[in-house]
Structure 1
Amino acid sequence: MKRILYIEDDEEIGNWVKTDLERRGYCVTWLTSGEGAVEEAKQADVVVLDVMLPGLDGFSVGQRLKREAPRVPILMLSALASMEDKLQGLSFADDYMTKPFHPDELAARLDVLQRRFGHAFGQEVRLGHIRVRLDQQSVIDERSGEEIQLTSKQLHILRFFIKHANQIVTKEQIYESVWGEPYLEGDKTVMVHIRYLREKIEIEPSEPAIIETIRGLGYRVKL
């Protein structure tokens, strides 16, 4: 992981962080707002994102980036330290770090993201009879060797499950990560998409072995 998209509007902090990261061997693209961030994020290995930005706030920018570049991890870096702010950030981001901070801690967290994403993405994940090629965004049926055609939303949902493998995730978490919008109680969008996804990847969709339903809680995919 060498290419960092850094979004921070404070000139003093931005110069300090950019200089330190470049000293550690990173290639840093620094933006002072969310304008142009989507295209830059697609070329980055990780995004370091401040919350307090001019125009769209960091939460809105981060949700857009996760929608458009779901493979790129996001580290929120913010002076907002309340639990509510952290939970809002972690609904889409992969880490949340509060200011003030020590540069060694930022470097350590980037190292953790590298271990999580630099090795997981680019490899294959096997789920029962299917093989998911995360780097190529394809799913192969091992029984026939043929590719299973998934829609972008279905693939995004499957990637979300793999990222949170062995964890129970709620439909609210899935919706807010994949669609990037607040979940409205009673919305059946996630249930419908998972039903169609199961019809494509499960041997017996009525008795799913890959995407488990955890009654009263949500769903789980085991690795």
Structure 2
Amino acid sequence: MKKSVLCIEDNMEIGKLIKEKLEQHGFSVQWQLSGEGTEKEVLHQDVVILDIMLPGLDGFTVGKRLKEVAPMVPILLLSARTAVHDKVDGLQFADDYVTKPFHIDELIARLEVLMRRNGDEVEESIQLGKHIEVNLNAQTVINKSTQEEIVLTGKEHRILLYLLENANQILPKEKIFETVWDEPYIHGDKTLFMHIGHLRKKLEQNPDEPEIIETFKGIGYRLKR
């Protein structure tokens, strides 16, 4: 099966080059000139090439939205910006950063590394506890005891995926909050605590004695696999 690439690039010359060369190497390429409507498209892609300087919404904004919708799909940022702070900002959500001008062979090699890494690390279906199955491709959470889908809010889903990405690790509550909400954590804020509570009610067989999402008092949380 061909690997599918979503290329978001408003420069016609660069966009045509990427599409032509990638298709010659066996990729399926969907090329868009802006980030409009890409939240739906990203769910069907294996990797994203994203230009930073776009008409309308800039690449940083588009990339963060895409990562929230499909956190398992790697994003490669493409930009003429070479400043360190731009790269640091981009790599807060993206998986790689390539500066223009670039050689198409290097771009292809980087894409292949991202997809190979993603394929090695990401399972299609993950079992949690005795009764929860998370399907990463379909983006669904199923209670296997009832065969019913568990409906999560956007933030609950993002928290769960972030915990899954770092399964069996104790994650500081500040880091979880700042990753999911993309804003600084304020000491004493109960927002994450409340969302974890809602998640437990939906996922745990006994929310008062959680077996999936553990609390480490004063530190944060750990998802057990």
What TM-score do the two structures reach when normalised by structure 2?
0.77
Change (3 A) 1:112 1:173: farther
Which of 126, 136, 139 matches 1:137? 139
3-state SS, counterpart of residue 53 of structure 1: coil
Which of 197, 207, 210 matches 1:208? 210
> Partner residue of 2:78?
77
Q: CA deviation at 1:165?
A: 2.7
**CA distance in 2: counterparts of 1:79 and 1:167, whole angstroms:** 37
**CA distance in 1: counterparts of 2:219 and 2:213, whole angstroms:** 13
- 1:29-178 to 2 correspondences below 5 Å: 29-93=30-94, 95-100=95-100, 101-118=102-119, 123-129=124-130, 130-141=132-143, 144-147=145-148, 149-153=150-154, 154-175=156-177, 177-178=179-180
**CA distance in 2: counterparts of 1:82 and 1:170, whole angstroms:** 30
Change (3 A) 1:64 1:9: same
3-state SS, counterpart of residue 76 of structure 1: strand
Gaps of 5+ in 2: none
> Partner residue of 1:189?
191
**CA distance in 1: counterparts of 2:215 and 2:224, whole angstroms:** 12
**CA distance in 1: counterparts of 2:21 and 2:63, whole angstroms:** 23
Q: Do the aligned residues in 2 keep the contact of 1:148 with 1:200 (CA within 8 Å)? A: no
Q: Do the aligned residues in 1 keep the contact of 2:9 with 2:50 (CA within 8 Å)? A: yes
Change (3 A) 1:166 1:12: farther
Q: Do the aligned residues in 2 keep the contact of 1:91 with 1:173 (CA within 8 Å)? A: no
3-state SS, counterpart of residue 45 of structure 2: coil
Query: Once superposed, what is the RMSD of the aligned Cα atoms?
Result: 3.1
- 1:6-25 to 2 correspondences below 5 Å: 6-25=7-26
**CA distance in 2: counterparts of 1:217 and 1:35, whole angstroms:** 39
Q: Do the aligned residues in 2 keep the contact of 1:121 with 1:135 (CA within 8 Å)? A: no
**CA distance in 2: counterparts of 1:206 and 1:105, whole angstroms:** 52
Q: Deviations over 1:158-198 (max 9, x none)?
A: 1222223344444455445545x424524432221111112
Q: Do the aligned residues in 2 keep the contact of 1:49 with 1:76 (CA within 8 Å)? A: yes
**CA distance in 2: counterparts of 1:217 and 1:82, whole angstroms:** 35
- 2:204 aligned partner, one-letter code: E
Greater shift after overlay, 188-197 or 120-129? 120-129
Change (3 A) 1:139 1:91: same
Change (3 A) 1:17 1:158: same
3-state SS, counterpart of residue 9 of structure 1: coil
Q: CA deviation at 1:61?
A: 1.0
Gaps of 5+ in 1: none
Q: Do the aligned residues in 1 keep the contact of 2:177 with 2:185 (CA within 8 Å)? A: no
3-state SS, counterpart of residue 197 of structure 1: helix
Q: Deviations over 1:52-102 (max 9, x none)?
A: 222221011112223344453322223334454334323333x12231444
What TM-score do the two structures reach when normalised by structure 1?
0.78
